[in-house]
A and B are shown apart, each in its own frame.
Chain A
Amino acid sequence: MDFTIILQAGIASGTVLLFATIGELFSERAGVLNLGVEGMMLIGAMSAFSTTIATGNPWLGVIVAMLFAGIISQIHAFIVITLQGDQVVSGLSLTFLGAGISLVLGDGLSKAGTVALLPNFSMPLLNLIPILGKIFFTDQSVLVYIGYLLVPLAWYYINRTRPGLHLRAVGEYPSAADALGINVFRMRYFYVFVGGMLAGLAGATISLAVSPGWFSELTTGGQGWIAIGLVIFAQWDPVRAAVGSYAFGALRRLILDIQGPTMLLGFANPFYYNPYLGFFLQMLPYLFTVVVLVIGSREAMRKRIGAPAALGNPYIRGERGK
């Protein structure tokens, strides 16, 4: 096993988590918890794949995926922002709805065969860096590079720009933001839409780049939920989100690859000779998410940093409190 190859593939599969995590991060920074990531990713994966089949243009697939998932996210936005419904239940219902719609519209897509995929390329010069160049800049999908750009951009936007300041104000102290003339409702709708689009992009990344195709609900396999866990681990910071996403991507790859070779570190590979032990490997990403949550929650308690103060609460004009 060549670990640089595993890490290289891990970065690609971590890009899926990265988009979904950053998207959810924007939504939560504005004070809206959206548990519908899994559903929006399924919508994105399905619509990207089917658009690409129909038109032969994967970029059109990406755009349709982002728009469709963004529109679906507005159902959640309407329920929790305008109707002040419970964010947990509404987000869950969005996951059901997204899964249902993508299963209905994606019916038969799994037999569609191969489509035009997004291009892979190596970044000139940067790919010559020893080891790191191989892992990060050699034969990666264009979406992976977009992911590299997204992380610093998101960080800079949230922490160093005026709209980013408004975003944080809306999530921390909406009534103060409102008093300053920021339209809390419009901002929240907007960032839920951003979250939806990025979840859609995450879905498109799966079906057009990382593991091409449409495999009904198995396409995402719970990655939307892992992304929500990663936001907590990341403590709502894009850079930490990137670290978590890539680490999880690498773990997913490692689990797939570890079952292949007959020898492992000089010993007979138990996962090769007893394939059913692979089920324990399959548990690892999910168990790791729980472990990561424990770490994130403990650290947050110790450092007294936490979720955006208004996360999960509807903003009602004229009511006292946050």
Chain B
Amino acid sequence: MAESKSITQRKPLRIRVEPRLSEPPAWYPAAISFGALIIALILGGVLISLAGGDPILSYKHIAKASFGDIGVLSDTIVKATPIILAALACSVAFRMKLWNIGAEGQFIMGAFGASVIVLAPVLPAETSRWIFIPVMMMAGMAAGALWGFIPGYLKAKFNVNEIISTLMLNYVAVAWMNFWIFGVWTEGGFQMSPKFPQTAWLPRLLEYAKSIPAFRGLTTHLGLVIGIVAAVILWFIIFRSRWGYEIRLIGDNPQAAKYAGINITQNVIWVMMLSGALAGLGGMSEVTGVVHRLQTAPIAAGYGFTGIIVAWLAKLNPIVIIFVSILFGALILAGREIQPSGVPKMIQGIILVCLIASDFLLRYRIVISRGEE
């Protein structure tokens, strides 16, 4: 009798949540993000089956259609390239808690800027490719930076909310591009510009198939190298330069930054321009490496928005962004064939929700114990 009483009196399990007082170990944030990703994929699977699909088949399909052989792997990397640059653009602004949601518009303006060089034309078609490419890169970055400058200036001068202004400029950029495609550069009334001359294309691996047969049919282009170089340079700026230190300080503690004499207003404008230039470079790489003409659907395909998620998933680390972008490139590539067509977008949304929810575990720890306090 007494014994059974003691069992019923055993203290129930208690779950307590307490703030973390010390920094978690270095592997911990990565493990949490990975866990959130897995949970997101499971939730996505549940939703797919609710909508009448087969989640396991869908995921198998995604894996096979994106990493199955060297050919599709190359396609995955082609899809990842614009995402890398868009995510780098978002990461540098987010680092300063500057919510640039306008990478999409800056990406479009970058593609437009690069196209002007070919279509205006600024350079004749027979110009050497090695003059064409740097000039187009400059034009793309300049157009993107201009599109970043506008909200940056408005934020610095009038304290205009950059989330809304960058987002509104996305719609303006789409209309601007459409005007040029339909009204000025249309090819025979179709919704696209004429094809660029081959001298204005970024070199692709398949061009070297004669000397290296393994490259046959691979469309991976120079944009990947541009993206990786940009990531490395950005890593040095953020973590090894004085400017990067200022950006990080403003993001973490704007009050302290102000007292340290850092000019926040000026940094807002410069960082928005850097962010815009990176996204613009992405647009340039996409239009000269893949599409080879100015056309709405493949350019305004949402890379700027995917960049937001990728930047967050990579915890704003430029090097990690490269790898996360490849993952998302796979999702987008394979997603094109999945029905219903909204699935990749929904999975991206679920991933972002799980990620932001999982950040809680970085700030708090959950203690399960028996007994009182």
With beta carbons under 8 angstroms apart, the residue of A90, A279, A290 that contacts B168 is A290
Q: Is B309 interfacial (CB-CB < 8 Å)? A: yes
Interface 9-residue window, one of A94-102, A151-159, A241-249: A94-102
Interface 9-residue window, one of A134-142, A202-210, A225-233: A225-233
Would you call B154 and A276 a contact (CB within 8 A)?
Answer: no
| Bound Cα distance from A41 to B338, whole angstroms | 25
| Bound Cα distance from A37 to B37, whole angstroms | 25
CB distance from B260 to the nearest CB of A (A): 22
Q: Please report the number of residue pairs spanning A and B whose Cβ atoms sit closer than 8 angstroms.
A: 150
B356 contacts which chain A residues (CB < 8 A)? 79, 85-86, 89-90, 93
CB distance from A170 to the nearest CB of B (A): 22
Q: Is B196 interfacial (CB-CB < 8 Å)? A: no
B357 contacts which chain A residues (CB < 8 A)? 78-79, 83, 85
Q: Is A50 interfacial (CB-CB < 8 Å)? A: no
A221 closest partner in B (C-beta): B171
A319 closest partner in B (C-beta): B19
Interface 9-residue window, one of B110-118, B172-180, B203-211, B233-241: B172-180
CB distance from A164 to the nearest CB of B (A): 25
Q: Is B128 interfacial (CB-CB < 8 Å)? A: no
Q: Is A115 interfacial (CB-CB < 8 Å)? A: no
B345 closest partner in A (C-beta): A100
Q: Is B255 interfacial (CB-CB < 8 Å)? A: no
Would you call B165 and A85 a contact (CB within 8 A)?
Answer: no
Q: Is A301 interfacial (CB-CB < 8 Å)? A: yes
Would you call B163 and A35 a contact (CB within 8 A)?
Answer: yes
Q: Is A104 interfacial (CB-CB < 8 Å)? A: yes
A84 contacts which chain B residues (CB < 8 A)? 360, 363
Would you call B343 and A232 a contact (CB within 8 A)?
Answer: no
CB within 8 Å of B: which of A39-93? Answer: 39, 75, 78-79, 83-86, 88-90, 92-93
| Bound Cα distance from A106 to B355, whole angstroms | 26
Would you call B178 and A222 a contact (CB within 8 A)?
Answer: no
Would you call B183 and A277 a contact (CB within 8 A)?
Answer: yes
Interface 9-residue window, one of A178-186, A263-271, A281-289: A281-289
Interface 9-residue window, one of A2-10, A119-127, A292-300: A292-300
Contact with A along B309-345 (1 / 0, CB 8 A): 1001000000000000000000000000001111101
CB distance from B177 to the nearest CB of A (A): 9
B312 closest partner in A (C-beta): A89
Would you call A97 and B164 a contact (CB within 8 A)?
Answer: no
B184 closest partner in A (C-beta): A276
CB within 8 Å of A: which of B353-369? Answer: 353, 355-357, 359-360, 363
Would you call B348 and A279 a contact (CB within 8 A)?
Answer: no
Interface of A toward B, CB cutoff 8 Å: 35, 39, 75, 78-79, 83-86, 88-90, 92-108, 216, 222, 225-226, 228-229, 232, 274, 276-277, 279-280, 282-283, 286-287, 289-290, 293-294, 297-298, 301
Contact sample, A vs B, 12 pairs, CB 8 Å cutoff = A88-B163, A93-B309, A94-B349, A103-B340, A104-B47, A222-B171, A226-B168, A283-B175, A286-B171, A286-B172, A293-B160, A297-B159
